[in-house]
Chains A and B, each alone.
Chain A
């Protein structure tokens, strides 16, 4: 039995060794806000925070999460970034968006004063095939407005 701390709550799960955090979140816990688009660490759609640090849940073995607090998009639903994304039209199909927002939330927490250069460096791990990038950049730079 594993105890996971997720979005301020505690969950008990009993996954086989080798199962990933993404599989646990989506499959066992129904937290389907976290998306999986590649399943092998190449796209960023599955980004969650572990103790505030962005991590790829699709290649994180759930047994290695330990004491760390998991924050998913479900825990960030009222973050001002969500509104900033909608305001700036920073999403099209929206499939990459939860991952973008989870990454961005960690970024604005760590660096409240951001430049476009920093955003482009720190968000390069979240692919968006629709190409919402210019608006994503705008949303992150204006998240407090």
Chain B
């Protein structure tokens, strides 16, 4: 029976209330007991690994639909300008097949307000011609004064949204009574997602239906945005994404390029491919915004935190969202008195976009570095300081956690933390070594709505069908594993078909670490529905009661010990098929569903050249039940490696005079290479959250990147005494911090080690 329920939904820390329809057996299913099972919890190879590795997988970038035209976009070379666009010359040629300007498509701007803002676009038979076509667009530019400085924006009250104020307890009184107060200003830089497949879409009209082939993290979000923007019934928009080459948060919505492709497809009657170049990607496809954080922490001499305060300026850019940089300081520790204020500065700079745990990566860096400085002042072990401030309920909403095993994470971190003396002792000459740690908190509970079907045929093979996307996180594999486990089938007999809104039910976004916790329970419910039907048939066929039957190891097993190959039942189906349907139920009412963890980093710092080498990172995370340990480890490593880039080498640089982005290319914007990777030890607790769905799984995509920067910077302090307060820890930043540490020592101030 379909049920209508009202429930809370969270994506990346944003809560909304909504109605959802739930059908199927979600809640009726008991969670599997803890521990690896026949398929779930057992390492599984990626189902689409071969296609991807052999270069057979067709990404949006690879589509070659007949008659496709290629689009090129004219973008503002100024951070702020007015543009008078004249398309006459472009339209006069035979070979520019379509040309659009402001007025033809809502994303094209007459007053472009950041470097790279789209102003006009053309389509031609080849990309080369399209680019040449751009030369024929006449634009009268009037350059305007750009606003580039976030502090100035705060002064002028140039904000993307209302300033957020939060407070609990009496912060002033608590600071007055604290035995120790530490404060610091922390800064994080802009980093760029740089998924290797750039943002792109191919759009084509098929009769009344608009087909959108797109590199996306959210098929259904794209469908809904386009249908409401164009005033089309949602079913007239078909969104397809079979393979996609990375997103990391930047591909959650259609994006300007898709609307440009649609407008040009409408104008020309041809399919239009609009793909960003790497440079456009790094101008106009989103970024992790810069932050500045003024932080203060007060504690009693035993380490109890009595007050925390944070003032955050998120340098958002021209548009985007004012992310939860305040999250960790409000949520991580059991501190009664907390106050934050968060500004979202609106600037003439490219808009931000969600980037793997937006806000929490930045906020954790500030908070966890400040906490280590506090530990230094208190002469308290940093791990012990964190234990003493353990929160056993959520203090923001005064709710219990659905599950929290952070203390267990801390225990498992002990052996890594205990390497400290040995690591320090390996310091040699200019190379100083040290160890640092940082805690992690983040969302990751997922939520409804999400739906899946499971089809079983006479070949005793099952197919999971759901219109979601696999962005490289191994979704196909994890979903097939869940269905195989429930159906008692070996994994080889189960596949997952996804990637097409016309060929499967609604599925959730692949963001906010929500894919597995949102989709997994729906898949399990669908598989259970299929299993129930199989058992009903078996009961009739063997004249047994359905409740004594179960599916295991490809067999139908009865309570009295009898068993029959499943083929005996599926064989009866002939051309019919069993179709199980499942929906994601609500999250546990009144509870906070969060993920937790800790990372311990070991670094070596060359104190003469400022070189920082991360030598080892141990990552211990509590993300509920682990579906595929092989894929999970890859997610952890990937998050940490992005974290290392964020910490050491990546920075988008902007010309301070013109506001133009200088690091558009991958020689100037420095992603980590294989040679920059440390030893990574992954330890996932794998304890199901007993309150969360029929699986007890949380998301894993984001937690691993959250504490990395802080752990590394704390290890740098441990190694050298240098207090780094800004990212990235470039050579100049490291040398500066080392010089300051030497100054402090000369003045006789205690080094904060």
Please, how many angstroms separate the alpha-carbon atoms of A74 and B56 in the complex?
Answer: 8
- Assuming the A-B contacts A35-B196, A131-B637, A132-B638, are A91 and B677 also in contact, with contact meaning beta carbons closer than 8 angstroms in the complex? no
Please, how many angstroms separate the alpha-carbon atoms of A92 and B474 in the complex?
Answer: 7
Please, how many angstroms separate the alpha-carbon atoms of A45 and B665 in the complex?
Answer: 14
Cβ-closest chain A residue relative to B635: A92
Q: Would you list which residues of chain A between 130 and 144 have a CB under 8 Å from chain B?
A: 130-137
- Interchain CB contact (< 8 A) of A37 among B49, B56, B197, B631: B197
- Assuming the A-B contacts A74-B55, A130-B638, A131-B642, are A95 and B674 also in contact, with contact meaning beta carbons closer than 8 angstroms in the complex? no
Is B246 a contact of A124 with CB atoms below 8 Å? no
Contacts of B61 in A (CB 8 A): 32, 35-36
- Assuming the A-B contacts A132-B634, A134-B637, are A93 and B55 also in contact, with contact meaning beta carbons closer than 8 angstroms in the complex? no
Q: Is the CB of B59 closer than 8 A to any CB of chain A?
A: yes
Contacts of A121 in B (CB 8 A): 675
Contacts of B194 in A (CB 8 A): 129
Is B56 a contact of A33 with CB atoms below 8 Å? yes
Complex interface bits, B242-253 against A, C-beta within 8 A gives 1, otherwise 0: 011110100000
- Interchain CB contact (< 8 A) of B50 among A42, A43, A82, A123: A82
Complex interface bits, A90-134 against B, C-beta within 8 A gives 1, otherwise 0: 011111111001000000000000000001110111111111111
Q: Is the CB of B269 closer than 8 A to any CB of chain A?
A: no
The interface residues of chain B, by DSSP majority, are classed as: loop
Is B55 a contact of A73 with CB atoms below 8 Å? yes
- Interchain CB contact (< 8 A) of B672 among A74, A93, A131, A136: A131
Q: Is the CB of B14 closer than 8 A to any CB of chain A?
A: no
Is B637 a contact of A120 with CB atoms below 8 Å? no
Cβ-closest chain B residue relative to A42: B666
Closest-CB distance, B473 to chain A (whole angstroms): 7
Please, how many angstroms separate the alpha-carbon atoms of A124 and B49 in the complex?
Answer: 22
- Interchain CB contact (< 8 A) of A135 among B57, B126, B193, B637: B637
Q: Is the CB of B98 closer than 8 A to any CB of chain A?
A: no
Contacts of A30 in B (CB 8 A): 64
**Residue of A37, A85, A96 ringed by the most chain B CB atoms within 10 A:** A37
Complex interface bits, B24-53 against A, C-beta within 8 A gives 1, otherwise 0: 000000000000000000000110111011
Q: Is the CB of B467 closer than 8 A to any CB of chain A?
A: no
Please, how many angstroms separate the alpha-carbon atoms of A126 and B55 in the complex?
Answer: 16
Contacts of B631 in A (CB 8 A): 89
Q: Is the CB of A52 closer than 8 A to any CB of chain B?
A: no
Contacts of B198 in A (CB 8 A): 37
Contacts of A38 in B (CB 8 A): 278, 665-666
Q: Is the CB of B550 closer than 8 A to any CB of chain A?
A: no
Please, how many angstroms separate the alpha-carbon atoms of A54 and B281 in the complex?
Answer: 26
Cβ-closest chain A residue relative to B61: A35
- Assuming the A-B contacts A131-B639, A132-B634, are A91 and B196 also in contact, with contact meaning beta carbons closer than 8 angstroms in the complex? no
- Interchain CB contact (< 8 A) of A94 among B53, B638, B674: B53
- Interchain CB contact (< 8 A) of A128 among B53, B278, B473, B674: B674
Please, how many angstroms separate the alpha-carbon atoms of A35 and B198 in the complex?
Answer: 11
**Residue of A34, A133, A135, A136 ringed by the most chain B CB atoms within 10 A:** A133
Closest-CB distance, B651 to chain A (whole angstroms): 16
Contacts of A72 in B (CB 8 A): 55
Is B53 a contact of A98 with CB atoms below 8 Å? yes
Cβ-closest chain B residue relative to A41: B667
Please, how many angstroms separate the alpha-carbon atoms of A85 and B52 in the complex?
Answer: 10
Q: Is the CB of B630 closer than 8 A to any CB of chain A?
A: yes
Complex interface bits, A25-64 against B, C-beta within 8 A gives 1, otherwise 0: 0110010111111111111010000000000000000000
Contacts of A73 in B (CB 8 A): 54-55
Please, how many angstroms separate the alpha-carbon atoms of A92 and B199 in the complex?
Answer: 17
Q: Would you list which residues of chain B between 235 and 280 have a CB under 8 Å from chain A?
A: 243-246, 248, 277-278
Contacts of A101 in B (CB 8 A): 53
- Assuming the A-B contacts A42-B665, A129-B671, are A86 and B50 also in contact, with contact meaning beta carbons closer than 8 angstroms in the complex? yes
Please, how many angstroms separate the alpha-carbon atoms of A82 and B55 in the complex?
Answer: 10
Contacts of A45 in B (CB 8 A): 196
Cβ-closest chain B residue relative to A84: B53
Closest-CB distance, B619 to chain A (whole angstroms): 12
Is A129 a contact of B196 with CB atoms below 8 Å? yes
- Assuming the A-B contacts A32-B55, A43-B666, A129-B195, are A94 and B243 also in contact, with contact meaning beta carbons closer than 8 angstroms in the complex? yes
Complex interface bits, B214-231 against A, C-beta within 8 A gives 1, otherwise 0: 000000000000000000
Is A89 a contact of B630 with CB atoms below 8 Å? yes
Is A97 a contact of B53 with CB atoms below 8 Å? yes
Closest-CB distance, A5 to chain B (whole angstroms): 19
**Residue of A45, A85, A131 ringed by the most chain B CB atoms within 10 A:** A131
Please, how many angstroms separate the alpha-carbon atoms of A95 and B473 in the complex?
Answer: 13
Contacts of B637 in A (CB 8 A): 131-135
Is B246 a contact of A136 with CB atoms below 8 Å? no
Is B55 a contact of A92 with CB atoms below 8 Å? no
Q: Is the CB of A77 closer than 8 A to any CB of chain B?
A: yes
Closest-CB distance, A109 to chain B (whole angstroms): 18
Closest-CB distance, A77 to chain B (whole angstroms): 4
Please, how many angstroms separate the alpha-carbon atoms of A37 and B276 in the complex?
Answer: 10
Please, how many angstroms separate the alpha-carbon atoms of A134 and B639 in the complex?
Answer: 12
Q: Is the CB of B471 closer than 8 A to any CB of chain A?
A: yes
Is B665 a contact of A127 with CB atoms below 8 Å? no
Contacts of B473 in A (CB 8 A): 92
Please, how many angstroms separate the alpha-carbon atoms of A23 and B732 in the complex?
Answer: 40
Is B246 a contact of A95 with CB atoms below 8 Å? yes
- Interchain CB contact (< 8 A) of B244 among A27, A82, A93, A124: A93
Contacts of A97 in B (CB 8 A): 52-53, 55
Please, how many angstroms separate the alpha-carbon atoms of A74 and B245 in the complex?
Answer: 19
Contacts of B56 in A (CB 8 A): 33, 77
Closest-CB distance, A142 to chain B (whole angstroms): 14
Cβ-closest chain A residue relative to B629: A89
Please, how many angstroms separate the alpha-carbon atoms of A89 and B48 in the complex?
Answer: 11
- Interchain CB contact (< 8 A) of B196 among A33, A95, A135: A95
Closest-CB distance, A26 to chain B (whole angstroms): 8
Please, how many angstroms separate the alpha-carbon atoms of A42 and B62 in the complex?
Answer: 20
Is A124 a contact of B674 with CB atoms below 8 Å? yes
Is A77 a contact of B54 with CB atoms below 8 Å? yes
Q: Is the CB of A87 closer than 8 A to any CB of chain B?
A: yes
Please, how many angstroms separate the alpha-carbon atoms of A102 and B528 in the complex?
Answer: 43
Please, how many angstroms separate the alpha-carbon atoms of A129 and B56 in the complex?
Answer: 20
Task: Using A33-B56, A38-B278, A94-B57 as known contacts, list a sample of 10 further A-B pairs with CB atoms less than 8 Å apart, ordered by residue number in A.
Answer: A35-B61, A35-B245, A85-B53, A95-B246, A97-B52, A97-B53, A121-B675, A130-B634, A131-B637, A131-B642
Q: What would be 28 A-B contacts, judged by CB atoms less than 8 Å apart? A: A27-B126, A30-B64, A32-B58, A32-B62, A35-B59, A41-B667, A72-B55, A82-B53, A85-B53, A86-B49, A86-B53, A91-B46, A92-B474, A93-B52, A93-B196, A93-B244, A93-B246, A94-B53, A94-B57, A121-B675, A124-B673, A129-B195, A130-B472, A130-B634, A131-B677, A134-B637, A135-B634, A136-B674
Cβ-closest 7 pairs across A and B: A33-B55, A94-B52, A93-B472, A95-B245, A131-B641, A131-B638, A42-B666
Residues of B in contact with A (beta carbons under 8 Å apart)? 45-46, 48-50, 52-59, 61-62, 64, 126, 193-198, 243-246, 248, 277-278, 471-474, 630-631, 633-635, 637-642, 665-667, 671-675, 677, 680
Residues of A in contact with B (beta carbons under 8 Å apart)? 26-27, 30, 32-43, 45, 72-74, 77, 82, 85-87, 89, 91-98, 101, 119-121, 123-137
